């Protein structure tokens, strides 16, 4: 079978590495050779019979390769591309963002022996290579015994597309001209080696202008999060002159054309969006509002984390997305920030999912007042909420909090929401739920936070001072409480409504900064340190109220009454009774900085008594695994 490849196709690509518009791209048909996976995409050698160039498909075309539409040794027509020069390798790289299949896999690789033989029929190879004819019509098919010839399109006598564009171009506003003359690149196609590009994006988050001071001097900086029509996000940062130039120009929710920026590999420790790269705009970058263009609402892409798997994300820099059924909605509270004494509204909602776990999500600012009120009105209908970009904290074990960039959708039209709704209506509403931050039963088989998963000895944690450096590490241990300091501050005075610390009010009572009110009474909540021991060694762990109550065997208010007795012997006896009892602990290990020195902190996240039957089964399974590995 004979097939066409465009003569000198690679040379044509190299001569116009970054076409300004799609009308500048001639018909280019190449053969795919050496097709192989490259990360999330596929790389190959583009072949025109005379030359080859390293190439890679845009990741959005991966489905075409997996389905078999695009095949090795097949032919494709290139519709949109960029040729980048890789400085470190002194070679060019072809990035294909759009193409169409011309032919499935051929019998062999196309090879051209001599230039003068182009256009001659090669019976032994079954391939016909001919140079383009200026007046042949695109799509004309000439059937011969040797196969099919695909011929290039004819130059039309009437006005060309380029002429029409030029006529329209003269009557357009600058932003519209930018849209017509500059090819808009999807964010997913950008990389640091790319030259000129233009993107069309919506500002979905805008940070505040911040001042900084370092060894190189002082300055200002702010960043925005940009989202294109496909839902791909990227963070853009501006410093000093660029920050002052673009701060007022960027408005939340508006659509812009942006060009002349630079990209670099994102610092995963500080990135706020899921993108391997981050963008920097300088004072020479171009930003034009797409005021006369059709606006678009970016598709919100979620990466949901089940509620019972939030534990390892506690105090991590990574943000999470969750979807859940709203179980309860609190009234709006006014919280005074310590940093600037500003009063901000807050509202807590409790959500649950199919893992039968619940978690409290704190909504702040407009999300608390506007969207929170909508949720309160719908609370009796148990709506589904999908929330993007949440911070995971350790308040009450595990808690979630919205940020300025967080997105909340009520009853979203996504598969995860429909699945959760079906589960809740069929069985979930009758199922008992437990807080993800509370202690779990030793027989829990939910994996991430089971008392029998990640079982280690105490020495494994204490002998590794760098453990938990990047993010908290979670383990399970079986240990004894070996010592409780009787003279430590074992509790704090807490608000009965929100459990936050209170201070003595003016004129009596207790003042809660969180609730902004004075109450006549308060409660005591544990915050204590105990020593735990096992066969490998010992270590100090911190325990908070719910976990400490299980260790001591009574509430902090009850223990305070025992301590206030004249002799105090009952208090000492209660602490002694709590020691040398075996427990199963789920703990987190993190690094805290104190006086410019990093220290390891082990915190009890869950505690349960030892179920000796379950413990025996666990040890027998462990022994079987050890025997099997020998």
CA distance 151 to 138: 6
Q: Residue 379 carries which DSSP code?
A: G
The alpha helices in 104-237, defined as continuous H runs, are: 161-170, 174-181
**Which comes out higher in pLDDT, residue 360 or 515?**
360
Of the candidates 363, 80, 82, which has an alpha carbon nearest to the alpha carbon of residue 195? 82
Lowest-confidence region among 294-303, 413-422, 611-620: 294-303
* pLDDT per position as a tens digit, 108-163: 888 865 544 444 443 444 344 444 443 443 343 333 333 334 444 444 344 444 44
**CATH for 187-289?**
2.40.50.140
For the record, the structure tokens of 12 come out as 């044509």
Lowest-confidence region among 290-304, 420-434, 527-541: 290-304
**Which comes out higher in pLDDT, residue 183 or 100?**
100
Task: Give the architecture-level CATH label for domain 307-435.
Answer: Beta Barrel (2.40)
**Which comes out higher in pLDDT, residue 323 or 471?**
323
Torsion of CA 382, 386, 390, 396, to 10 degrees: 20
**CATH for 458-490+527-617?**
2.40.50.140
List all residues 6 or more positions away from 227 whose beta carbon is below 8 Å from its beta carbon.
Answer: 201, 202, 204, 233, 298
- Over the chain, what is the mean pLDDT? 80
- From residue 628, alpha-carbon distances to 108, 297, 455, 621, 622 in Å are 50, 56, 19, 10, 10
The verdict on domain 9-103 having CATH code 3.40.50.2300 is no
CA distance 111 to 52: 11
User: How many residues are given for the chain?
Assistant: 630
**Which comes out higher in pLDDT, residue 208 or 464?**
464
Phi, psi of 376 (to 5 degrees): -65, -40
Beta strands in 113-152 (DSSP E): 121-122, 127-128, 141-144, 147-150
Strands 233-239 and 277-281: parallel
- Coil, strand, or helix at residue 451? coil
For the record, the structure tokens of 383 come out as 């709506």
**pTM, 2 dp:** 0.46
Of the candidates 486, 464, 484, which has an alpha carbon nearest to the alpha carbon of residue 473? 464
Query: Residue 540 has what pLDDT?
Result: 94
Of the candidates 603, 619, 600, 621, which has an alpha carbon nearest to the alpha carbon of residue 611? 619
* pLDDT per position as a tens digit, 199-246: 999 888 887 788 888 878 889 998 898 988 877 889 999 999 999 999
Rg (CA), the chain: 32
Give residue limits of the domains in the chain: 9-103, 187-289, 307-435, 458-490+527-617
CA distance 422 to 424: 6
């Amino acid at each position: 079978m004979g097939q066409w490849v465009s003569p000198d196709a690679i040379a044509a690509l190299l001569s116009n590495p970054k076409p300004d518009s799609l009308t500048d791209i001639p018909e280019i048909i190449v053969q795919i050779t050496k097709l192989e996976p490259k990360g999330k995409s596929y790389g190959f050698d583009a072949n025109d019979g005379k030359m080859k160039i390293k190439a890679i498909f845009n990741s959005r075309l991966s489905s075409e390769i997996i389905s078999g539409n695009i095949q090795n040794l097949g032919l494709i027509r290139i519709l949109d591309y960029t040729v980048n020069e890789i400085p470190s390798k002194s070679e060019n790289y072809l990035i294909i963002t759009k193409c169409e299949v011309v032919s499935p896999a051929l019998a062999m690789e196309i090879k051209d022996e001599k230039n003068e033989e182009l256009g001659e029929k090669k019976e032994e190879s079954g391939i016909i290579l001919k140079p383009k004819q200026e007046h042949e019509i695109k799509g004309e098919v000439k059937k011969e015994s040797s196969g099919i010839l695909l011929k290039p399109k004819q130059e039309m006598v009437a006005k060309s597309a380029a002429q029409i564009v030029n006529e329209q171009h003269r009557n357009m506003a600058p932003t519209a001209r930018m849209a017509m003359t500059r090819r808009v690149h999807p964010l997913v196609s950008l990389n640091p080696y790319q030259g000129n590009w233009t993107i069309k994006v919506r500002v979905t988050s805008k940070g505040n202008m911040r001042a900084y001071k370092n060894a190189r001097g002082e300055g200002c900086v702010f960043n925005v999060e940009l989202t294109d029509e496909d839902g791909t996000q990227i963070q853009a940062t501006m410093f000093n002159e660029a920050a002052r130039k673009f701060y007022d120009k960027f408005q939340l929710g508006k659509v812009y054309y942006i060009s002349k920026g630079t990209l670099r590999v994102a610092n995963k420790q500080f990135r706020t969006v899921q993108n391997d790269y981050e963008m920097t705009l300088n004072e020479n970058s171009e930003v034009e509002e797409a005021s006369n263009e059709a606006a678009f609402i970016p598709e919100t892409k979620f990466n949901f984390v089940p509620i019972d798997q939030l534990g390892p994300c506690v105090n991590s820099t990574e943000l999470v997305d969750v979807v859940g059924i709203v179980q309860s909605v609190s009234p709006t509270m006014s919280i005074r920030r310590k940093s600037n004494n500003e009063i901000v509204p807050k509202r807590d909602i409790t959500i649950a999912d199919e893992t039968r776990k619940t978690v409290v999500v704190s909504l702040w600012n407009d999300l608390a007042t506007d969207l929170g009120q909508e949720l309160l009105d719908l609370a009796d209908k148990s709506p589904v909420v999908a929330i993007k970009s949440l911070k995971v904290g350790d308040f009450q074990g595990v808690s979630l909090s919205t940020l300025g960039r967080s997105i909340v959708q009520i009853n979203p039209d996504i598969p995860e929401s429909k699945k959760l709704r079906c589960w809740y209506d069929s069985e979930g509403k009758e199922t008992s739920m437990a807080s993800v931050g509370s202690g779990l039963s030793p027989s829990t088989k939910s994996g991430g936070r089971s008392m029998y998963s990640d079982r280690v000895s105490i020495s494994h944690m204490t002998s590794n001072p760098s453990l938990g450096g990047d993010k908290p590490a979670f383990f399970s241990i079986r240990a004894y409480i070996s010592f409780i300091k009787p003279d430590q501050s074992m509790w704090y005075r807490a608000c009965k409504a929100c459990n936050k610390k209170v201070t003595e009010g003016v004129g009596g009572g207790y003042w809660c900064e969180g609730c902004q009110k004075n109450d006549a009474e308060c409660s005591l909540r544990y915050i204590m340190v105990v020593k735990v021991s096992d066969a490998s060694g010992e270590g100090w762990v911190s325990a908070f109220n719910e976990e400490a109550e299980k260790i001591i065997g009574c509430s902090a208010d009850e223990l305070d009454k025992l301590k206030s007795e004249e002799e105090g012997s009952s208090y000492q006896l209660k602490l002694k009774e709590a020691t040398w009892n075996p427990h199963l602990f789920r703990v987190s290990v993190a690094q805290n900085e104190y006086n410019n020195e990093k220290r390891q902190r082990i915190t009890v996240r869950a505690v349960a008594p030892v179920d000796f039957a379950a413990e025996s089964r666990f040890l027998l399974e462990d022994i079987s695994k050890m025997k099997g590995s020998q």
